[in-house]
Amino acid sequence: MKILGSSYNSATLKLLLASKVSNVELDVLTTGPKHVLYKGQPMLELDSRVRIYSANSGVWYLFRKKFGHQLQDYDSAIDHWMEWEMMHLQPAGDNFHPLSSEKRQKELGTISKLEETLKKCNFIAGTNDVTAADICIWSSIHFMQIDQKDLLTTFPSVKAWYERLLSLKAFQEAVEKSSALNVAGTGTETVGKAKTQNTRAEVKKQATSSVSSERVPNTVENDSPEPRSATEDEITSAVQNWKLGQQNSPSPRILKHPVLPVEGTKNVFITSALPYVNNVPHLGNIIGCVLSADVFARFCRLRGYNTLYISGTDEYGTATETKALEEGVTPQEICDRYHEIHAQVYKWFNISFDHFGRTSTIQHAAICQQIFSDVHKNGYTFTDSVEQLYCNNCRRFLADRFVEGICPLCNYPDARGDQCDSCGRLVNANELKSPRCKLCGSTPSPKSSTHLFLDLPKIEPKLRIWLDTVVDGWSNNAQVIARSWVKDGLKPRCITRDLKWGIPVPVEGFTNKVFYVWFDAPIGYMSILNCYTNEWEKWWKPQNSVEVKYFQFMAKDNVPFHSIIFPSCLLAVGKYLNYEEGKFSKSRGVGVFGSEAESTGIPSDIWRFYLLWVRPENQDSAFVWNDLAQRNNSELLNNLGNFALRALTFLEKNFDGKIPEVNVDGEFERSLVGAVNKELKDYLSVMENARSLREGLRRLLAISRHGNLLMQSSQPWVLIKGGPEDRQG
């Protein structure tokens, strides 16, 4: 076994101490793959190449490997203190600042609980020797007092415990080995005397040099799911359903392609906003659209619903043409390259598309031109001459995204000609202050150009009626954005562009122009479905006897196009519009990108978990490396992982992996079943209409907390040694 990514911090010290105390030899490497949750965090790699990413979990593993079940009677107390160290002591130490009396008081208040416990016993969990809890807490205390020597002066019991452990040979050797990492180079660490020169601030700087500079507040206590109790009626109902067994469980559905709507069943059609193809998708794209839709699709399939989930890359428009010009290749080559990158990133994230397509297809061009022809024939378009920016140096009209400048609304200096990334508002290129050509940087001048417009004011009455029937089912963000657009009346919207890369406009006099990307892109949901099956219209225009629910997942900046422009086009056509629900920048190369996530070596399920944990639903949220590490350790590992590992290990060892008959007639068992069922009902409620995937995750974690409390309170490892009544669940 080995420690990968070792560095001078408390996490590495924990593993070194566990190695010495349990007498398990470890190779200590300061190098390794980009595996860490944030720089400086080690992981334990077993001989089987399985990797344990939490230092606390690694300590537990090493102790169990050496001592087996000798400490089973103390498992509950050890678990409690290891969780306390993760959720309270670590954050207190991370937030410490010598000049902040408020933070220092919080730190001292945390240690005071430890003082009260150690007044009564020599070791933290009440044992007669060192346990995993002692090691984890001692390591954190050790690094907390590197540059605050007086930390323990007011805690005599903690100080005596700390010094007693430091006098042990195993602790001295581990500390020496840890200190050696402070000056060691790369490769396998060589033990020797080291000079402890780094201050705590330097250590923290080293550990977080590649992460966000923002300090993350300790929010574990505030938003971690807490177990809740159930009412007597809820308990009675839950127990009755428990005794019915699997009678009420949904029947498994056999997946057969192509997936088509079926009469007499619940049909769910799911799309995620088509990611633009000019760059690698970043984490914001992934959680805002494809991952959220994937989680909901998996939920629907588990519920037995007839579910279809599609998406694809959006490939036309200015950004693609710009990227091609910058790289000296054709737009099609850009699309082919990045479509493959997107597909690989989503495959690594385990996104369960039924079909992942693209918009640069014959089917897409045909459907897009047909929809436009219907809109045009029905009288919902008109032509007008507009002042458009023209670059004399490049000798071409500049489409929106070929122009950059100062936003007229918020003065952001790098707004695009179609939208400002800072304030999120749509703008016209002519409105930008100090405009400049994106291709050559010169100042463009206005010149007249004739274009086709979508007559949104003419469509508005129909759109308002439609919005009134569906908007209440949307997320709050989507409702606010859509209503803000129609509040003051809609304005005509230009739907053609002076570009070469796009779908040609099938109208005489305009064949040298292409459609605006946000006219053709949402039609991609239809064309990609058409590429999946020739019977695609069964989903978009189902028979009256067939119920289809359509769920769209998108980021908030896509809402205006999906809630206003796209529905207006479909209403102007007079068909296709039947969706029930809507859930609503990589262009600048800022953020963590999907391909980088894979290269870290962190398993995709950890990324999926954390991105769902911070999913922006009612307001924007931020990705922060430290928070990823903390959530992974406190929730995914110490909560869900701990429960699953302990329960399944116990089941395998004592019952040959088979779940024994369970008696739920006792008061405690009834209360537990009722409480778990309450969480499960709430989980189904928030997941059923995709209202809050984030809350659904928290309800699942609350269930695992019930499981951990059950393990700690009932102590099955003790009961298994008793008679038949004790062994019966």
Residue 41 within a domain: yes
Q: Which of 177, 211, 245 is the last residue of a domain?
A: 211
Exposure of 488 by Cβ count < 10 A (0-12 exposed, 13-18 middle, 19+ buried)?
A: exposed
Domain with 99, as residue range(s), is: 2-211
For residue 541, give the nearest of 529, 531, 553, 532 by alpha carbon.
Answer: 529
What pLDDT, on a 0 to 100 scale, did the predictor assign at position 534?
A: 96
pLDDT tens by residue, 168-214: 999 999 998 888 877 544 443 333 223 333 333 332 333 333 333 33
Confidence of residue 620 (pLDDT cuts 50, 70, 90): low
Residue 349 within a domain: no
Token readout for 470 is: 């569906």
Residues 367, 527 contacting (CB under 8 angstroms): yes
Residue 71 within a domain: yes
pLDDT tens by residue, 333-352: 999 999 999 999 999 999 99
Residue 634 within a domain: yes
Q: Give the list of residues 6+ apart from residue 385 with CB closer than 8 angstroms, or none.
A: 448, 449, 450, 451
Which helix H or strand E contains 89, and what residues bound it?
none
Angle in degrees, CA 39, 35, 198, rounded to 5 = 25
Residue 546 within a domain: no
Residues 315, 335 contacting (CB under 8 angstroms): yes
Residues 419, 353 contacting (CB under 8 angstroms): no
What one-letter code names the amino acid at 590?
A: V
For residue 270, give the nearest of 601, 693, 723 by alpha carbon.
Answer: 693
Residue 653 within a domain: yes
Percent of the chain residues topping a pLDDT of 90: 32
Token readout for 26 is: 């470890």
Residue 6 is part of a domain; what is its CATH number? 1.20.1050.130
Asked whether residue 153 carries a pLDDT value surpassing 80, the answer given is yes
Other CB atoms within 10 A of residue 501 CB: 24
Residues 419, 445 contacting (CB under 8 angstroms): no
What is the average pLDDT value for the chain, to the nearest integer? 81
- Whole-angstrom CA distances from 574 to 24, 375, 464, 527 are 72, 9, 15, 18
Q: Give the list of residues 6+ apart from residue 116 with CB closer than 8 angstroms, or none.
A: none
Residues 677, 703 contacting (CB under 8 angstroms): no
**How far is Cα 41 from Cα 35, in angstroms, rounded to an integer?**
9
What one-letter code names the amino acid at 575?
A: K
What one-letter code names the amino acid at 506?
A: P
Residues 218, 95 contacting (CB under 8 angstroms): yes
Residues 10, 142 contacting (CB under 8 angstroms): yes
pLDDT tens by residue, 374-420: 999 999 999 999 888 899 998 888 878 789 999 999 999 999 888 88
Residue 146 within a domain: yes
For residue 585, give the nearest of 565, 618, 558 by alpha carbon.
Answer: 558
Token readout for 587 is: 């262009």
Other CB atoms within 10 A of residue 506 CB: 15
The total number of structural domains that make up the chain: 2
**How far is Cα 552 from Cα 473, in angstroms, rounded to an integer?**
12
Token readout for 83 is: 């969780």
What pLDDT, on a 0 to 100 scale, did the predictor assign at position 461?
A: 92
pLDDT tens by residue, 252-296: 778 889 999 999 999 999 999 999 888 888 777 788 789 999 999
Q: Which of 158, 176, 211 is the last residue of a domain?
A: 211
Residue 457 within a domain: no
Mean pLDDT of 628-636: 77
Residue 709 is part of a domain; what is its CATH number? 1.10.730.10
pLDDT tens by residue, 491-520: 999 999 888 899 999 999 999 899 998 899
Q: Is the pTM of this model over 0.85?
A: no
Q: If you compute the radius of gyration of the chain from its CA atoms, what whole number of angstroms results? A: 30
